Amino acid sequence: MIESLVEVLRCPESGKDLTLAHVGDWFELNGQRHVVDGILQAVGEPDKRYPILDEIPHLVPRWWVKDEEQAYLDAHLDDHRLDWNEERRVEPEIVTDEDLEADIRNRMERQYQLTDASPPLTRQRCEGEIRYMLSEARGTNKLKYVKALAPYVERVDSVLETGGNFPGLTRNLQERYRPSLAVVANIQILFPKAFKTPNRQIAAVRADVQALPFKSGSFELVASGFMLEHVPDWKAGLRCMMDVGEKVFLAFGPNKWFPFEVGHINAPLAGTLPKPIAAYVAWFWLAAVGRRRPMHRIRAILAEVFHVGSRAFRREAERLGGMTRNLFPEIIDIIVRDANAPPTGPRKVLKRFPRLAGFSARLLTTLGMEPQIYYLIDSGAAAGHPPPSSELRISR
């Protein structure tokens, strides 16, 4: 963690400023100190302590804390002060893009338990997942967001991405805007290696979007791709993002009111109907199209997705004082005109009939039924929104 990041951090539970209470290993890069392991503590609250492990500050509320985080904190209790890890200068670990790609491949092959004897379908699924992760890591599947933002966001000096697995979207935003501060916050940092680039331009923070550990108005732009539908209290997530960011770009979905759920269950009305009924409809649909899934699996997937309607989302953002702009028609226009986008699935039809695509996108948006939700919100955070109370922010 670059040491200067402390300036924008606050306690995810009490909202108090954080200070660096202890530094173990650290290194210097481009004249800046980076902490490899250490402890952050809320000012005046010695019981609110959060570890920095493998360069990542773990700033999740207590009930999210994992065993290794607790073990580090326990080992650094005040009454053990004499046995604390001593401050020590080390060399930074550098991970190149090639190393990261090899890491992604290894992990996926392990997850799918791939061997020479694996059936072709398993191999195909694993390769599909690797391709997706690589495009995320390289940011190639997020370029359209940067294009959609270009007319409305001229320059920004600080960027936060919430729910990014890799710094892919942030990498694109960084290439476009060259911000001096770029952070990715996620409830799980699955690929810490992705942040160990030679220049450490993007910082990773383990954080829950429902209780973001950043001071109000810390970022000029907050951006997020396909995270909000996984957040149980999306209103708390939206409130936190609008509190820490002046502008907030959110892509998520599918829209609760689009009649076909794409991306999680892939069945009609799965996001619209009450979940117990949606599970049966999905089971029959998947059986009918030859993609049968066991009922417990369908229920488990549905339990992890929280579908939100486009209009309800806009109403909430405006209630919080934001000015909203629905970017769905613009995103469709960008997809249709993108010569490099592979013409697969619905894209094939959209590209063939660009006018029809534009008309349908505008019609669906007017009806509040666009399949995916893309909004840019001017949150007014710079104008000094009062920070939400900590009770409201923490929803789990």
Ligand X SMILES: C[S@@+](CC[C@H](N)C(=O)[O-])C[C@H]1O[C@@H](n2cnc3c(N)ncnc32)[C@H](O)[C@@H]1O
Interface residue with ligand X among 61, 213, 225, 387 (CB under 6 A) is 225
Helices (H) then strands (E): counts for the chain: 13, 16
- Closer residue to ligand X (CB): 85 or 135: 135
Region binding ligand X by CB under 6 A among candidate stretches 41-49, 208-216, 310-318, 326-334: 208-216
How does DSSP classify residue 369?
-
- Closer residue to ligand X (CB): 126 or 212: 212
Give the SS3 label for residue 371: coil
- Closer residue to ligand X (CB): 230 or 325: 230
Min dist CB 263 to ligand X, Å, is 8
Interface residue with ligand X among 27, 64, 226, 260 (CB under 6 A) is 226
Interface residue with ligand X among 162, 170, 218, 395 (CB under 6 A) is 162
The 181-200 site mask, x for binding ligand X (CB under 6 A), equals: -----xxx------------
Per-residue exposure over 211-230, b if at least 16 CB sit within 10 Å of its own CB, e if not: bbbbbbbbbbbbbbbebbbb
- Closer residue to ligand X (CB): 22 or 264: 264
Interface residue with ligand X among 125, 138, 176, 230 (CB under 6 A) is 230
Interface residue with ligand X among 11, 182, 209, 373 (CB under 6 A) is 209
Cβ atoms of residues 225 and 186 within 8 Å: no
- Closer residue to ligand X (CB): 301 or 369: 301
- Closer residue to ligand X (CB): 20 or 202: 202
Interface residue with ligand X among 25, 36, 55, 165 (CB under 6 A) is 165
Q: Does 170 contact ligand X by CB under 6 A?
A: no
Min dist CB 321 to ligand X, Å, is 22
Min dist CB 208 to ligand X, Å, is 5
Token representation of residue 203: 């910082």
Q: Does 172 contact ligand X by CB under 6 A?
A: no
Strand blocks (E) in the chain: 18-23, 25-29, 32-35, 38-42, 45-53, 56-57, 88-89, 158-162, 181-186, 203-206, 219-225, 245-252, 260-261, 267-268, 323-326, 373-378
Token representation of residue 351: 């590209």
C-alpha to C-alpha distance for 219 and 208, rounded to whole angstroms: 17
Token representation of residue 357: 């695509």
Q: Does 231 contact ligand X by CB under 6 A?
A: yes
Min dist CB 223 to ligand X, Å, is 9
Contacts with ligand X by CB under 6 A lie at 136, 162-165, 186-188, 208-210, 225-227, 230-231
